[in-house]
Structure 1
């Protein structure tokens, strides 16, 4: 049964207070779907629905909830119940939830856990946010390289129950240093008396615990990995980052870049759960700054008042021209920022890309100039049409170059290129477009400056 049908049926059962139907429908739902269903319910309702799941499934569903809702639910649970939930969660999700709690609550929860799990939780929660250590899990299968295949498979059976993946196994030495990897398929098909060291691949893609999470996501995508091993300074294997966690990072980074691209700050917890004040605060700063940036456009218009008075028809084409420059610049900036984010574009490529952008911008400008010149002839005559056409070519070229160069400049000064947002590029291109348009008009029409 599809999620839409299950959700509608569950909603109906809740309205009827039919506990038997509620329990049956929740049992049919995937944990991720149940988490989506309860995301905007009252805390008491969420707890009541989650109680219908076995503890292990409840822990899985809990991991899919938003950070804000997890924090609310954790505050209502007793230390014993929260401790039980933590012990059944994946290691990385457990560490994320643990870090949301205050220090007193953390200490109380640690006392409810076995010593080995306490140490593991402390270690995972100690890594800095935004690093591989903060998103890795310790639920993996490691096999000493000197084991034979029979013993290695026995290790997989013993330790693989709670591992996030058993398809890729990690080979270590007696000190826990990463030596290589071997797939489960290779082990199953190998001679039982063969040594793991004979089967393993020694060329391993790995990261250190302090590697930026964006780099982790890039490597997982580039090499099509199910999981990426994480080592510490002594080359000891300390965890793995699974594909699904890496893709969560990629989605988060893409969302953050998109927000920056529209001059919006990072919204914690998602749009639907954000408060009105947070939405206001994340948007107001850049909008106010861009108001003052747009003053330059007004100053340009004021400077060419005499030109405008002599040829009032010029005003008709002003929005069309400056918007074209801003649009061309936004397109160029979007291409550059995305290229930088994916690694397709590097700083050293700027000269080559500059030449290509100029060529493309000339073609775009000429095409748009041809289209607008027809309007110019019918609206204001040949002379004005020529001014508009020349201005269109120049404005599109300049706007495109602003959009292309600005991300490189920001990166050069250590600022995130995504800050070269559409509003910022548009504001700069608008001011430039006004000056270019009226300067060309003044020169072509023979007016005094």
Structure 2
């Protein structure tokens, strides 16, 4: 069905059907259309429906729809959307069109959006919305409830009411909607406020810290204040969840050895996919060349004991797997602040015996495997097969231990240098362990097999 050519009756039927759907389902439906089709559908929706759809962070083509709509329609939608979502949409529209839309907005909306655009991405200021309910500290419960009824339609959320000093306008306390409803109408608003001082976050706080504060205090919204204690806005739990899902997605992609992408897999252009993946793949490939160089260095040993080559994939992959495990654990622990940079030595002391034990377990399995194959006649490893088994077991202990140490400490190093620890991707760790693992493997082999098959 070509949405761009739908007749008026078809538009009415489609609008009627979508009107019975939840806004999240409408967004999912629109995400399955092209940007042009989505624009046509949104253009024929009632204004309030369109605003709700565009307010959803998961609506993929919000920027394209706003840019393609007639200016008066686009401006009406931006003014109806929450300020933080409108600022996110405007942020990614090209400069000339963004300027025209901004200038056409009413003064209040323009000021709110300009204010939000000044904060860097990934901070509380960039996440917050300026649409919250605040009342003076000298109001009563009844006055506050009446005020909520008047302004509810223009506020993103009424999870909490923020009580301000009548004179200085600084944040004094917060009142949950539940406590407000249960309060005596003529009682002062502060009588139903929390007994403790208000908990707030600065506008420059990273979004990970904001999420941690919301989780710690079980908030649905946390106030954002400036250095003087005046409220700038609120960060809601749903905005934090959306931001953290996006952040976690980027981290997972980086750990997989590629640049982060911000589009659904099937929507990424082929050239963009190649661009995102080729860079890291080339870096890892060049790094693996050091593995080849290391093996060339030990080429004489390989010629004398070709049987050693049979176990190279086994011992190398074990070290890489151990390193990837440690990297994943430490990156997660750093993100949750379960460990800090100063704890690197504690992590090292923990991973050292862990690596030895894990390597010992794998070494025992390796020794058993060689013994069974030799005794059962599946393969003849030669007269010195017992020394070979010991070599494999000892190599696995050394390589797995090194992999665990390297995988756990590299995120600390990257964080200290100012890089994202997620850059310590599993492929990168695997490559590092491959190179050093070759050296460890043949060094152990020379130690145990020198004078026999070497």
CA contact (8 A) 1:140 1:164 kept: yes
1:206-225 superposed matches below 5 A: 206-225=200-219
Runs of 4+ with >6 A deviation? none
CA contact (8 A) 1:217 1:249 kept: no
Is the alpha carbon distance of 1:424 and 1:176 closer, same or farther for their aligned partners in structure 2, counting shifts above 3 Å?
A: same
CA contact (8 A) 1:340 1:346 kept: yes
What TM-score, normalized to structure 1? Answer: 0.91
Matched, 1:76 2:68: yes
> 153, 173, 183: which is aligned to 1:180?
173
Tell me how far apart the structure 2 counterparts of residues 63 and 272 of structure 1 sit (CA, whole Å): 23
Matched, 1:307 2:301: yes
Tell me how far apart the structure 2 counterparts of residues 292 and 120 of structure 1 sit (CA, whole Å): 49
Is the alpha carbon distance of 1:40 and 1:398 closer, same or farther for their aligned partners in structure 2, counting shifts above 3 Å?
A: same
Q: Which sections of structure 2, spanning at least 5 residues, go unmatched?
A: none
Tell me how far apart the structure 2 counterparts of residues 65 and 178 of structure 1 sit (CA, whole Å): 29
Secondary structure (helix, strand or coil) at the match of 1:171 reads strand
Tell me how far apart the structure 1 counterparts of residues 136 and 265 of structure 2 sit (CA, whole Å): 46
Q: Which sections of structure 1, spanning at least 5 residues, go unmatched?
A: 1-8
Deviations 1:116-169 (A, max 9, x none): 233223222332222211111111100111112222222222222222222311
1:278-293 superposed matches below 5 A: 278-293=272-287
Comparing 101-110 with 53-62, greater Cα deviation is found at: 101-110
Tell me how far apart the structure 1 counterparts of residues 404 and 103 of structure 2 sit (CA, whole Å): 60
1:20-35 superposed matches below 5 A: 21-35=13-27
1:87-98 superposed matches below 5 A: 87-98=79-90
**Alignment-derived partner of residue 390 in structure 2:** 386
Comparing 169-178 with 315-324, greater Cα deviation is found at: 169-178
Matched, 1:446 2:453: no
RMSD in angstroms over aligned alpha carbons?
2.4
Deviations 1:211-262 (A, max 9, x none): 2222222222232210111112322111101110000111111111111212
1:87-166 superposed matches below 5 A: 87-166=79-158
Aligned length: 438
Matched, 1:265 2:232: no
Matched, 1:399 2:391: no
CA contact (8 A) 1:136 1:241 kept: yes
What TM-score, normalized to structure 2? Answer: 0.90
Is the alpha carbon distance of 1:19 and 1:197 closer, same or farther for their aligned partners in structure 2, counting shifts above 3 Å?
A: closer
Q: Shift in Å at residue 99 of structure 1?
A: 2.2
Comparing 318-327 with 124-133, greater Cα deviation is found at: 124-133
Matched, 1:41 2:33: yes
Secondary structure (helix, strand or coil) at the match of 1:161 reads helix
**Alignment-derived partner of residue 417 in structure 2:** 413
Is the alpha carbon distance of 1:108 and 1:407 closer, same or farther for their aligned partners in structure 2, counting shifts above 3 Å?
A: closer
Is the alpha carbon distance of 1:412 and 1:111 closer, same or farther for their aligned partners in structure 2, counting shifts above 3 Å?
A: closer
Matched, 1:200 2:204: no
1:211-360 superposed matches below 5 A: 211-360=205-354
Q: Shift in Å at residue 185 of structure 1?
A: 2.1
Secondary structure (helix, strand or coil) at the match of 1:222 reads helix
Deviations 1:260-293 (A, max 9, x none): 2122112133433322222222222222222222
CA contact (8 A) 2:67 2:74 kept: no
Is the alpha carbon distance of 1:307 and 1:249 closer, same or farther for their aligned partners in structure 2, counting shifts above 3 Å?
A: same
Tell me how far apart the structure 2 counterparts of residues 349 and 317 of structure 1 sit (CA, whole Å): 36
Secondary structure (helix, strand or coil) at the match of 1:118 reads helix
CA contact (8 A) 1:149 1:193 kept: yes
CA contact (8 A) 2:28 2:59 kept: no
